[in-house]
Amino acid sequence: MMLPTTGQPDDPRPTPLPQPHEVELTVIVPTRNESANVAPLLDRLGRALAGRAFAVLFVDDSTDDTAAVIAHEAAGRPFPVAVLARPEERRNGLSGAVVEGMEAAGGLRLCVIDADLQHPPEIIPQLLDQANRTGADVVVASRQADLLGPVGLSRSRALTSQLLTILARMVFPRVLKNVSDPLTGFFIVRRAAIDTTSLQPEGFKILLEILVRHPDLRVTELHFDFAPRHEGQSKADLNEGMRFFRHLARLRLTVNQHLIRFLIVLLLAIALNLTLLPALTRGGRPVMLAAAMAGAVTIAAILLGEMWVFSDRPRGPARRRLAGVLLLGLLFLGVVYLPVIWLLAVRLGLPVMVAGLAAMLAAGFVYYLFSEQWIWTRGLMMRPRAYLYYDLHGLLTVASQIPLSDLSYFQTPAPPERIDLQLRVDRHGTPSRVPGAICYDEHLGRFGFGLTVIPGDFTEIVVSPLLETSPGFLYTNVVEPVLRWLLVTRGYSLARAGAICRPGAVRPGAGRWPEALLITGRGDMGYGLSRLCRADALDFMGDDCIIIGRDRRARSFPKPVTAGRGMTSDQSPGQPIPPALGLQRLLYSSPVRRLGLFLSERRLPAATVNTYLQRFIPQPKYPLPSLLPEIAVGDEAVPLVLVDQARGAESLTPLPLETAIDRLLEPGERAFGFQPYPLLVESLASWHGRDWPAEERDILRAGLAGCLTLQRRATDERWWEHVGQIFQNQTAHDPARHAAPAVNPA
């Protein structure tokens, strides 16, 4: 199907493409003398998007026959193709062409792609799927990059692109923090999320214009390999480079008033300082004493002016904010202002006025950098952080920029076809607040605990850089409650129990499954389960968590176990036990946890303190096979017996199913009460109006059908000897077992 060639000088009004509700996507292709690329581009678009409702709109600024070639090649295509040929007076660069295309195009989403085939049309379906799963307003196709810049460009062009990206990030550190490649020309936007009247296109970096003028957009990205140019020549030249610098400067001065406001405050502060400093020195005071007095008054004025400069930023509690102001004041006075005065006025003998002016400019510059949280890290570069991938029995997949040792058993070398949970580190420091997200922030920037969780079919967790140094705390307090909720949405429960199983191959076709023993009610079961596995030749499935599904299958979740005496093999030295084990155990003891809860309840930065503690004194946990290589890990089994451990007079009694489920749903003692764990559990419990805790109970009722549930009370600590005997006495094929009152009906 071909739509007429539109937008000729004698008919400036383009014939409209299909209405937004008629097509899923309109592909906008800006062209300038790209006639040789039209046919192969349309061919590849047709193959890539076959079966989808889409249209193609070329916006042509050519001086050759490109428009005519488009009209010819569009004939007979099974999708709408149109060309908007702009007259010379309307040609204002690639960005302007894209904006006109957006105004003319239909479709729920718009895809912008270059005509030179360096952007592969084959990944557009992936971009669309990412947009649909995440609900993102913008999905950016970011070019794969190394230290020098995008791979696939010449080294000189790659380095230029890298430097321009760094410059753009320095000017807009917050807005561009979620995008590796803000200068790419390949992306998808939700049509309704973009106000084209607010765009002031100039040059060829339209994505930068969109992101900066729409700072509240939800943005995700996929990475692709940049292909060699098919035909034609690059339009980038010195003039385009100068237009980019003009564009960047104009955006900085017009988008928000932070810089302008700060310059006003700085000028007033300089005037105040240059008035106070000479007056104080004329009174006979030493230069450094006078500088300290003048500097304290002046920097106090700057810090008060900060309330006006950054008045649109969220504020923390008043007490925390005051502490931050005092800390910054001492920092600038002692580290920047006074050393500059000493160097210039005392050491070099320059006039006090000159030294005061230089010190004020230096202090003001450093202060603005801290206020914007510009930190010179790899976050400025295009090269994205690498991801590690985890596949939880094919039920759920995780991509994480931070190694998660608790999921090490599930790590897979190749990226899975579908990602369900993505964990990444915020480039800037404080994760963005987006609609529908769960946010927790202790208002300490990149040096404190902060996170944003965006739940959905594709769930994203964005954390502050501090959490990269404490993956154990990150997993326990952030990742695990999100994993638990995601599994419930898929019909599984991440239950709180230790588990072992009889060895044996899973043979579902023959109806043969190993049988599992589940144990609840014990805080740390690693040692006892290891003794049980070695004594009775059983396989380990997990000491803290187990996955239970409606299909009556228990799937292993072998997190690292706490190291200690008796946790190394007689045949193998295993993992060496750290000498600081006693100190580590003290930090994770109940009294210290109660102290942490006390701080958390009083809105003090307990999560930040806890993160730093675990950074320097990590949990003494190791994978069980590294401690005891002779113990194998069982993968999947049928729950045969559940034994709840409790203190009291020796007894073994039936345990009601609902009580057993209560035990399986108890939160881990290491996390419960510490933020953000309670916040995440509460917020996710009713996501999308569903009662997920009730659904999890239904899952466990089905999963434990036919499982013997008991409670054992005892005063001794050698519980594994008795529990092992209970397990050995049960047989999966004993008909009498199904008649026992403690057995839950199937």
Percentage of the chain beyond pLDDT 90 is 28
Residue 455 CB neighbours (<10 A): 21
Indicate the pLDDT class of residue 251, thresholds 50, 70 and 90: confident
Q: What is the pLDDT of residue 408?
A: 94
pLDDT surpasses 50 at 734: no
pLDDT surpasses 80 at 585: no
Q: What is the pLDDT of residue 683?
A: 93
On the CB side of 326, how many CA atoms lie within 13 Å of its CA?
A: 6
pLDDT surpasses 90 at 58: yes
pLDDT surpasses 70 at 41: yes
CA-to-CA dists, residue 321 to 235, 304, 326, 444, 447, angstroms? 50, 11, 9, 10, 15
Q: What is the pLDDT of residue 200?
A: 79
Contact (CB, 8 A) for 2 and 69? no
pLDDT surpasses 70 at 591: no
Q: What is the pLDDT of residue 361?
A: 81
Question: Residue type for 419, please?
Answer: I
pLDDT surpasses 70 at 575: no
Per-residue burial over 97-135, b = 16 or more CB atoms within 10 Å of its CB, e = otherwise: bbbbbbebbbbbbbbbbbbbbbbbbebbeebbebbebbb
Q: What are phi and psi of 539, to 5 degrees?
A: -95, 145
List the structure tokens of 248: 């960047």
Of the candidates 197, 310, 335, which has an alpha carbon nearest to the alpha carbon of residue 257?
310
pLDDT surpasses 80 at 122: yes
374-390 average pLDDT score? 64
Say which residue, 554 or 254, is predicted with more confidence: 554
Distance CA 521, CA 498 (A): 9
Omega of the bond prior to 676 within 30 degrees of 0, cis?
Answer: yes
Alpha helix (H) residue ranges in 228-317:
238-255, 258-282, 287-309
Contact (CB, 8 A) for 548 and 492? yes
pLDDT surpasses 50 at 432: yes
Distance CA 628, CA 539 (A): 12
Among 48-62, 437-451, 468-482, name the one with the lowest average pLDDT: 437-451
Q: What is the pLDDT of residue 263?
A: 72
pLDDT surpasses 80 at 439: yes
Coil vs helix vs strand at 589: coil
Indicate the pLDDT class of residue 172, thresholds 50, 70 and 90: confident
**653 torsion bin: left (phi>0), alpha (psi -120 to 50), beta (else):** beta
The set of residues, in sequence order, having a beta carbon less than 8 Å from that of 330 and lying 6+ positions away, is: none
Q: What is the pLDDT of residue 9?
A: 41
138-145 average pLDDT score? 87
H/E segment holding residue 647 = strand 636-647
Among 298-302, 364-368, 627-631, 632-636, the range of highest mean pLDDT: 632-636
List the structure tokens of 184: 């790419």
86-90 average pLDDT score? 83
Indicate the pLDDT class of residue 587, thresholds 50, 70 and 90: low
DSSP string across 93-156 = HHHHHHHHHHHH--SSEEEE--TTS-S-GGGHHHHHHHHHHHT-SEEEEEEPEETTEEBTB-HH
Give the N- to C-terminal CA distance of the chain in Å, as an integer: 58
How many residues are present in the chain? Answer: 746
- What is the 3-class SS of 153-184, one letter each residue? ECHHHHHHHHHHHHHHHHHCCCCCCCCCCCCC
The set of residues, in sequence order, having a beta carbon less than 8 Å from that of 95 and lying 6+ positions away, is: 199, 201, 202, 203, 204, 205, 206, 209
For residue 666, what is the DSSP state? P
H/E segment holding residue 653 = strand 651-654
Distance CA 307, CA 316 (A): 12
Question: Residue type for 601, please?
Answer: E
211-227 average pLDDT score? 84
Residue 312 CB neighbours (<10 A): 8
Structural domains in the chain, sorted by start: 5-255 (3.90.550.10), 258-372 (no CATH), 491-560+623-746 (no CATH)
Average pLDDT, the chain: 80
The position carrying tokens 């922030």 is 441
pLDDT surpasses 90 at 40: yes
Distance CA 382, CA 385 (A): 9
Distance CA 382, CA 187 (A): 16
List the structure tokens of 103: 């105004």
428-456 average pLDDT score? 79
pLDDT surpasses 70 at 465: yes
List the structure tokens of 52: 């989808």
Q: What is the pLDDT of residue 376?
A: 37
Residue 645 CB neighbours (<10 A): 20
Say which residue, 677 or 444, is predicted with more confidence: 677
Q: What are phi and psi of 555, to 5 degrees?
A: -115, 140
List the structure tokens of 92: 């204002």
Q: At what angle do helices 287-309 and 258-282 cross, to 10 degrees?
A: 160
Torsion of CA 78, 79, 80, 83, to 10 degrees: -100
273-289 average pLDDT score? 83
Q: What is the pLDDT of residue 480?
A: 94
Q: What is the pLDDT of residue 718?
A: 79
Q: What is the pLDDT of residue 239?
A: 64
- Hey, which residues does 629 pair with through a beta bridge? none
The position carrying tokens 């509700």 is 21
On the CB side of 49, how many CA atoms lie within 13 Å of its CA?
A: 26
Q: What is the pLDDT of residue 472?
A: 87
Coil vs helix vs strand at 723: helix
Residue 45 CB neighbours (<10 A): 22
Distance CA 171, CA 372 (A): 10
Contact (CB, 8 A) for 496 and 663? yes
Per-state percent for the chain, helix, strand, coil, to nearest 5:
45, 20, 40
Q: What is the pLDDT of residue 733?
A: 43
Among 17-26, 435-444, 487-496, name the one with the lowest average pLDDT: 17-26
CA-to-CA dists, residue 429 to 7, 454, 466, 616, angstroms? 46, 17, 8, 20
Distance CA 598, CA 605 (A): 11
Coil vs helix vs strand at 640: strand
Of the candidates 104, 110, 96, which has an alpha carbon nearest to the alpha carbon of residue 13?
104
For residue 512, what is the DSSP state? B
Indicate the pLDDT class of residue 15, thresholds 50, 70 and 90: very low
List the structure tokens of 670: 């290491």
The set of residues, in sequence order, having a beta carbon less than 8 Å from that of 510 and lying 6+ positions away, is: none
Indicate the pLDDT class of residue 740, thresholds 50, 70 and 90: very low
CB neighbour class for 29 (10 Å; exposed up to 12, middle 13-18, buried from 19): buried
Coil vs helix vs strand at 601: helix
Percentage of the chain beyond pLDDT 70 is 75
H/E segment holding residue 462 = strand 459-463
**Which sign does the torsion angle of CA 287, 289, 290, 296 carry?**
positive
pLDDT surpasses 60 at 738: no
600-622 average pLDDT score? 73
pLDDT surpasses 50 at 4: no
192-216 average pLDDT score? 84
Q: What is the pLDDT of residue 54?
A: 93
Question: Residue type for 524, please?
Answer: D
pLDDT digits 0-9 by tens, 66-79: 889 998 888 888 99
pLDDT surpasses 80 at 303: no
Of the candidates 516, 640, 628, which has an alpha carbon nearest to the alpha carbon of residue 564?
628
Among 240-254, 272-286, 581-595, 673-687, name the one with the lowest average pLDDT: 581-595
| Chain centroid, CA 516 distance in Å | 36
Q: What is the pLDDT of residue 349?
A: 86
Among 58-72, 581-595, 642-656, 730-744, name the one with the lowest average pLDDT: 730-744
Q: Taking the model in full, what pTM does it have?
A: 0.74
| Chain centroid, CA 341 distance in Å | 43
Say which residue, 202 or 624, is predicted with more confidence: 624
